[in-house]
Structure 1
Amino acid sequence: MPAHPHHNHHRARTQDGIDWSSRLAFFRQVDELDAEARRVVARRLVRPLSDRPTVLDVGCGTGGMAVALVEALSARGGGTLVLVDGTPEMLDAATTAARAAATYESDTTTASVRVRPVLADLSTERPVDLAGPAQLVWASNVVHHLPDQRAAVAGLVEAVAPGGWLALAEGGLDGKFLPWDLGVGEPGLSDRLSGARAHWFALMRENIEGAVRLPGGWNTVLADLAMLDVTAFSYLVDHPAPPQQAVRDWAVNQLTWHRDVAGHLLHPSDRETVRRLLDPQDPAYLGLRDDIFLLTAGTVHLGRKP
């Protein structure tokens, strides 16, 4: 569930070298396909909170989880949702989507959820100064793009109100979307793409200025930061074949992303297969195939502040 974090005429890049504004359409696709799974996660996270809580969505991306959180808050009487991102286009999209969802009607009444956007660079600004303290801090796939991941989690913990929760969505299982044998190229391309992307990710981390390794799992980080009731749960996003067109479109964008960031790490024969899969004139084109699917699992790590 990739929700992520400057923008000028030439499209500035964040510290990880990724131009997030160029990924806007892709993240909107993800929001659409992950919507039901996110609703379940949001309801689970909001359930134990006090009345009319403040919820902080850090690295809100295009707002898929923001919409789910607004709906969950509305259904139980309202609250405040603070959206934080470092890319203006992303923040605008998330704010628009969340405010539209804030008119969501529960069974009994139309509840009020206040949506407040905050443009911030999380590598230099403290979440507690932006919006804390919050009864729930949600951060999905954003910490691993910051130089010192442990320090970033510590900053998120700072923004949690006493007795409140930090929900850190990191890790899970690599998304699958290609059959084992596509009928073109060598079978097993999906696994080789995942390997190349993992290699790219390691290089991306190494090239972030001031990068610090995270020596262990997220649960140990939360425990080291004195969080209580540290646990985790995973959720599934499952769109089986034959796919709706939105899944085909997502797969084309996902493979394009793989090619752009990690294509140079593939064998030339695999690069040729990828080229064919992305060519609308080729019979193997992903956008027309009926054997494309989307299957992924996200993991949410939880800790409660004393």
Structure 2
Amino acid sequence: MAHDHHKPAGHGHGHGHGHQTDIDWAEMGPVLESQAELLAPAYREAMAWLAEETPEPGLIVDAGSGPGVVACLFAEEFPGARVTAVDGSGPLLERARARAARLGVDGRFSTVTGELPEALDELEFPADLLWASRSLHHLGDQRAALAAFVERLAPGGTLALLEGGLPARYLPRDIGIGRPGLQSRLNAAEEEWFSRMRAELPGAVAEPEDWPALLTSAGLKPTRTRTFLLDLPAPADEAARDYAAAYFTRLRDGLGDVLDADDRATVDRLLDRADPESLYQRADLFVLDAYTVYTAVRPR
């Protein structure tokens, strides 16, 4: 599942989920890294906000770290902390360790390979700050998974849960080809896909997405909620164009059977580098995305 929102046929910042064993993570690694790098401004803003509540964590755990871009950002933003990246993909964690070495934070950086939430049992110490970015919704029983997260949290420690937000936008409502409102229809199809994905997870339990209530039920005290904006205005640079193209490619590959012929043709044109209407040539392409983070503290 993509780090972005509900993206089919892809994955993102939450990894290590057994139902996606057909994905070649070694091949996906560079793409996931470049996407997370594009989002670094929003992540850094979120970390500065988290530092207000947890100014000097001893151990930060990234539960579902992928290739470690965000875990390494934590190491940079919290120079006194040790950081552990937890993920089910060995190849992605290899990239995380290599990134930490390049950035000179490898002395405070470690990894744990395994499926969530069980992999958290491998932690040597409880976490002062546990970050879970869109990894929870890949676990069938989210309430039980949260309880497992809490068990690995130190008394007084903070759980930061990135879930929800708003669907990303890349194009105006009317783009001059196909029917206006393409992105709204794609978003609706994504929501249907996400519901099916959740229902098919092992041990799936239907749960209202009231994150503060779920955090409370896990024995935590919810503290704050804030949404962080990624705003890359038009005309987009090459990195933003590649990010948008990856999004539309995943939708075309994952939702193609539910899109009508007109929308499929429009998406194909958007992805055709030679087409003057493509994402690679359009002057109106932008990236606008919103990420919501919920924090809660384990009572001492």
Q: By the TM > 0.5 criterion, same fold?
A: yes
| CA displacement at 1:102 relative to structure 2 | 3.8
The correspondence for 1:87, drawn from 77, 86, 89, is 89
Q: Match for 1:120: what amino acid?
A: G
- Taking the TM superposition and a 5 Å limit, the aligned residue runs for 1:284-295 are 284-295=277-288
Q: Letter of the aligned partner of 2:295 in structure 1?
A: L
Task: Verify: 1:243 aligned to 2:245, yes or no.
Answer: no
- Residue of structure 2 in register with 1:115 after alignment: 109
Residue deviations 1:120-169 (CA, integer Å, cap 9, x gap): 1115x151443440100001010101111111111111111000100011
Question: In the alignment, does 2:35 pair up with 1:30?
Answer: yes
Unaligned regions of 5+ residues in structure 2, if any? Answer: 5-11
1:226 alignment partner AA: G
- The residue type paired with residue 93 of structure 1 is R
Q: Distance in 2 between matches of 1:241 and 1:166?
A: 35
- CA 1:102–1:44 in 2, change beyond 3 Å: closer, same or farther? farther
Query: Which stretch of structure 1 is more off in the superposition, 166-175 or 261-270?
Result: 261-270
Q: CA deviation at 1:219?
A: 0.7
What one-letter code is carried by the residue in structure 1 that aligns with 2:204?
A
Residue 197 of structure 2 corresponds to which residue in structure 1? 204
The 1-side partners of 2:213 and 2:24 are apart by: 29
Q: Which whole-Å CA distance do the structure 1 matches of 2:86 and 2:122 have between them?
A: 12
Equivalent in 164, 178, 182 of residue 157 of structure 2: 164
SS in 2 for 1:161: strand
% same residue: 37
1:15 and 2:19 are equivalent in the alignment: yes
Work out whether residues 212 and 222 of structure 2, in 8 Å CA contact, stay in contact via their aligned partners in 1.
no
Q: Of residues 50, 63, 67 in structure 2, which corresponds to 1:62?
A: 67
Question: Which aligned pairs between 1:233-272 and structure 2 lie closer than 5 A?
Answer: 233-272=226-265
Query: Structure 1: 5+ residue runs without aligned partners?
Result: 7-12, 104-111
Alpha-carbon shift at residue 231 of structure 1 (Å): 2.6
Q: Cα deviation per residue 1:155-213 (whole Å; 9 max; x = unaligned)?
A: 11111100010001111011111221121111110111111111111111112222111
Residue 286 of structure 1 aligns to a residue whose secondary structure is: coil
* TM-score normalised by L of structure 1: 0.88
Partner of 1:226, secondary structure, is coil
Mean Cα displacement is larger for which, 283-292 or 293-302? 283-292
CA drift of 1:115 comes to 0.2
In 2, distance between residues paired with 1:282 and 1:51?
51
TM-score by length of 2: 0.89
Q: Aligned partners of 1:91 and 1:144: how far apart in 2? A: 21
Equivalent residue letter for 1:62 = P
Over residues 201-248 of structure 1, what are the superposed CA-to-partner deviations in whole Å (9 max), with x where a residue is unaligned? 111111222211113411100011221243311101110101111111
Q: 1:301 aligned to 287, 294, 297, which one?
A: 294
Q: 1:176 aligns with which of 148, 169, 177?
A: 169
Number of residue pairs the alignment of both structures matches: 288
